[in-house]
Amino acid sequence: MKRIIFISAFIVFAGNINAQNNVLEKYIQEGLQTNLTLKQKQSSYEKSIFVLKEAKGLFLPTLSLNARYSVADGGRVIEFPVADMMNPVYSTLNQMTGTNQFPQIENESIPFLRPTEQETKLQLVQPLFNSQIFYNKKIMSELTNVEKANIESYKRELVAEIKTAYFSYLKTVQVLKLTDKTTELLKENIRVNERLFTNDKITIDNVYRSKAELSKLEQNIAEAVKYNKSAKAYFNFLLNKPLESDIEISDETKISFLETELQNSQENAINNREELQQIKSYENASDYNLKMNKFNKIPILTAAVDYGFQGEEYNFTSDDDYIMASFVLSWDLFKGFQNNAKIQQATIDKQIIETKYMETENQIRLQVINSYYELEAVEKAITAAEQEKLSAVKSFEIVNKKYKEGQTSLIQFIDARTTMTSAEYNVIIATYDYKIKYAEFERAACLYNITE
């Protein structure tokens, strides 16, 4: 019977609910476009994309222009004893020929460094095999996924925050409406008491008591206005709007109780929660880091091609140019067991992340369970509050009629009015608490479609 009532109420007020959802959905979309914290997270994601592009760029060749001009003095000298070897020969030849055709020469000293030298070249370097570049790109890709999931996670949180702030604001609006209604009742009670006092049917203390009740209510109104302004400011803060901006209000007093299975909600959360996707990406990155450290034991192969000009002066002719191609193999045979230590660290990091994943999964299940049962509790509270309100209103109508006829005391009137106001207040609180709790449950169970 309870479900039938709820479904019927939902059908009757379907058009009204759609209008309400449209207003709230408009604010949600606005918040997703303007929220400053979300913009910061989007900037971090965009930065991670460029980091990934940088990692991909390591696979491509690099072309650089290198120019060097050197001036040297001193340094090592190559001694070439040409005089010691040739002068005896020359002397013998001169004696044999009777001439001086073969002069005596000096030993040569050739400096190792040229006095002036220039080298201008283009260098092309292409990695052929480098496991660090390969796995670094894989790691950066997973970290980019982490940033993306971080954005989606905050979007889901922001939607819940906007809904909570909106319903909190509407709660204060309804409370202010209730205080206005109660103010009218108390003013009417003061008028009735003044008339009864004039007709000598009550004493003056009843009038004073009625005015005291009004003053007490005015204090409560001041508190309600403060909460109303704070709720408005926080809602506008989430949307990055001026804090005093007006908020469009739709009639949110009608609600529909949506039926959903707890087990299905848990599974939906596990399959879609961005926090788990983040940890999974971290786990993948950790796995790639482990593989990268294991592959550090194999060599790195690079190809390089140099083309340029060399000489003591800047001459760019065919006699001065050169070209050289190289294959460079680098293989760390021993690094003091550093690589083994890195492998052990990466293994432990992977184990930590796996444990964190299981812990987070259990936390999410617990979060869904708590939100689900909180919704059930508030749902029952709404039913009880509505019944209490119905009884309190009928009771007050009877007492108020009797009081105007002088058939009951002021104490009974105040008690009935206080009970009625309290019951109406409880309905407002329970109603909007349900909406707020549902927003939290919606976030926990991933029921709101962020992609749309």
Q: What are 178-207's pLDDT values in tens digits? A: 999 999 988 888 888 888 888 888 889 888
Segment among 15-29, 216-230, 418-432 with least mean pLDDT: 15-29
User: Tokens standing for 321?
Assistant: 């140019």
Segment among 124-133, 210-219, 331-340 with least mean pLDDT: 331-340
Whether 292 shows a pLDDT value over 70: the answer reads: yes
User: Per-residue confidence at 408, pLDDT binned at 50, 70, 90?
Assistant: confident
Domains (range + CATH), the chain? 2-62+129-300+333-444 (1.20.1600.10), 77-112 (no CATH)
Average confidence (pLDDT) over 352-362:
94
User: Per-residue confidence at 331, pLDDT binned at 50, 70, 90?
Assistant: confident
Cα separation, 146 vs 143, in Å, equals 5
Whether 315 shows a pLDDT value over 50: the answer reads: yes
Whether 122 shows a pLDDT value over 70: the answer reads: yes
Whether 282 shows a pLDDT value over 90: the answer reads: yes
Task: For 143-175, write each residue's pLDDT tens digit.
Answer: 999 999 999 999 999 999 999 999 999 999 999
Give the distance, in angstroms, between the CA of residue 114 and the centroid of all CA atoms in the same chain: 61
Whether 9 shows a pLDDT value over 50: the answer reads: no
Chain mean pLDDT for the chain: 87
Average confidence (pLDDT) over 51-72:
90
Average confidence (pLDDT) over 68-75:
85
| pLDDT for residue 10 | 33
Whether 11 shows a pLDDT value over 50: the answer reads: no
| pLDDT for residue 2 | 38
Whether 140 shows a pLDDT value over 90: the answer reads: yes
Whether 319 shows a pLDDT value over 90: the answer reads: no
Average confidence (pLDDT) over 369-376:
92
Whether 365 shows a pLDDT value over 70: the answer reads: yes
Share of the chain above pLDDT 70, in %: 93
| pLDDT for residue 251 | 63
| pLDDT for residue 5 | 34
| pLDDT for residue 362 | 95
User: Per-residue confidence at 236, pLDDT binned at 50, 70, 90?
Assistant: very high
User: Per-residue confidence at 451, pLDDT binned at 50, 70, 90?
Assistant: confident
| pLDDT for residue 248 | 92
Average confidence (pLDDT) over 249-272:
77
CA atoms within 13 Å, Cβ hemisphere of 219: 5
Average confidence (pLDDT) over 34-43:
92
Whether 287 shows a pLDDT value over 60: the answer reads: yes
Average confidence (pLDDT) over 382-402:
92
299: left (phi over 0), alpha (psi -120 to 50) or beta: beta
